[in-house]
Amino acid sequence: MKKTSEITAEYKNLKESEYQAFIAEYSGDERSSVVKQVATLKKRLEAIEKEKERMKVMFSFEREYSDYEYICGIDEVGRGPLAGPVVAGAVILPKDCDLLYLNDSKKLTENKREELYDKIMESAVSAAIGYGSPERIDEINILQADYEAMKEAIGKLSVKPTLLLNDAVTLPDMDIKQVPIIKGDAKSASIAAASIIAKVTRDRMMVEYAKIFPEYGFDSNKGYGSAAHIEALKKYGPCPIHRRSFIKNFV
C-alpha cells in the first residue's frame, strides 16, 4: 500500500483529466487524508459539471444563430470613468469552443480575467481591440466614441463577421446583421469573451498610466471617480488622460 505522503504528492500534481482515475483508485482507502482528497476531487468534478451546464446556457445565442459562419461578440468597458479611454473588444469563438467560466467581466476576479484573457486569445478564431481616446470622447461624446471603438475592433478582425452579438446596443451604419442582447455579457459566451479582453486591456493600460501620473491612483481606481481620485483631481488638476467633459464638477 502506498504511503499517504506519496498519495498526497500524486494528488497535488493531478490534472483535471486525472481526477476520475484518482477517485477510482483511492475511494476505498479509509485513511483520513486520502478520504479528504477523494471528497475534494468529487466536489471539484461536481462544480465543473455545474459550470458546463451554465456554459451550455451561455452558448444558447451562438447555437440559435449557428447558421452564421462567423459570430462575433462585441462589448466595451470604460464608459463611466473620469479618465482613460473607452475600450471595445470583438471576439469570434470557434464553433466547438469548450471554454468554461466565461462571464460578465465585472463578475470575475482580476486573476480569473487574466487567466481567461490568455485562453480566449489562444482559442479565438479572431479577437481584436478598439479604442476611444479621452480627447475623442470629449470631441464627439462617450456614446459615439463607444461606437467608433467597437467598429474599430470589428475592423481589426482577421475575418469579417457574418453576425454581431452586441451588449445592448445596435451599431449605426453596419452592413452586418446585429443582435442586441440586454445584459449580453452575462448571457452570451461571445459577448462575455469580448468583455473580458476589453476589461483586461483597459486595466493594463490604466496601470501603465499610473506610472506616468502617480498622483491619481489609476492602478487601483482605473480612472473611475473614487473619493481619493476626486480629491487628487481637485488638488492637482486634470492630467492629459482626464476626460474634460466628465470632470466639470470637480475642477
The CA distance from 4 to 89, in Å, is 48
CATH number, residue 71: 3.30.420.10
Q: What is the pLDDT of residues 202-232, one digit of tens each?
A: 999 999 999 999 999 999 999 999 999 999 9
- pLDDT of res. 135: 98
- pLDDT of res. 149: 98
C-alpha cell at 224: 473611475
Q: Is the pLDDT of residue 27 over 90?
A: yes
- pLDDT of res. 249: 87
pTM of the predicted structure, to 2 decimals: 0.91
Claim to verify: residue 72 and residue 53 sit in the same structural domain: no
Claim to verify: residue 103 and residue 185 sit in the same structural domain: yes
User: How far is the CA of 169 from the CAs of 141, 185, 222, in angstroms?
Assistant: 16, 12, 24
What is the residue whose three cell numbers read 452592413? 175
Residue 18 belongs to domain spanning: 4-58
Domain count, the chain: 2
Structural contact between residues 242 and 228, judged by C-beta atoms closer than 8 angstroms: no
Phi, psi of 127 (to 5 degrees): -145, 145
In a domain, 216, yes or no: no
Claim to verify: residue 86 and residue 124 sit in the same structural domain: yes
Claim to verify: residue 72 and residue 194 sit in the same structural domain: yes
- pLDDT of res. 89: 98
Claim to verify: residue 53 and residue 93 sit in the same structural domain: no
User: How far is the CA of 134 from the CAs of 64, 92, 195, in angstroms?
Assistant: 37, 27, 20
In a domain, 232, yes or no: no
In a domain, 89, yes or no: yes
Structural contact between residues 172 and 148, judged by C-beta atoms closer than 8 angstroms: no
In a domain, 218, yes or no: no
Claim to verify: residue 120 and residue 44 sit in the same structural domain: no
Claim to verify: residue 50 and residue 111 sit in the same structural domain: no
Q: Is the pLDDT of residue 250 over 90?
A: no
Claim to verify: residue 190 and residue 80 sit in the same structural domain: yes
